[in-house]
Amino acid sequence: MAAGLPALMLLLVAGLTAVDAVGVRVACADAAREAALAAARGEPGTVAGSRYAPGGAEVSVTVAGDRVTATVRAPVRALGARLPRLVVSGKAVAAVEPGAPGPVP
């Protein structure tokens, strides 16, 4: 019984970290979607994505022809100070809207 307690704690930490990573990944996907849509409308996509991105995230927007691609990457801190950080990302693509002044990254 005493030997199983550390293994149980390790599984608990791994499970909580996985749940946190999924939440951050969803937030990254939402922020990427907002950034791509804003850039496709001619608004600054990086600014729009940063509003919805989780803390410490990097937002990048690229324009290629008639498509806008936004990528948001954010670190996920594992429960425990000595464990390495995980990095999750979300990506979204949007078509440039007709009549828009032009995509803005």
Assess if residue 32 is contained within a domain. Answer: yes
Assess if residue 102 is contained within a domain. Answer: no
When pLDDT is cut at 50, 70 and 90, the band that residue 81 belongs to is: low
pTM score, two decimals? 0.85
Q: Around Cβ 22, how many Cβ atoms within 10 Å?
A: 12
Which domain, by its residues, includes 65? 4-95
Assess if residue 103 is contained within a domain. Answer: no
Assess if residue 60 is contained within a domain. Answer: yes
How far is residue 86's CA from residue 90's CA, in Å, rounded to a whole number?
A: 14
* 52-64 residue pLDDT tens: 999 899 999 999 8
Q: What is the count of structural domains for the chain?
A: 1
Assess if residue 69 is contained within a domain. Answer: yes
Assess if residue 39 is contained within a domain. Answer: yes
Q: Quick check: helix, strand or coil at residue 35?
A: helix
Assess if residue 104 is contained within a domain. Answer: no
When pLDDT is cut at 50, 70 and 90, the band that residue 46 belongs to is: very high
- Would the pLDDT of 83 be above 90? no
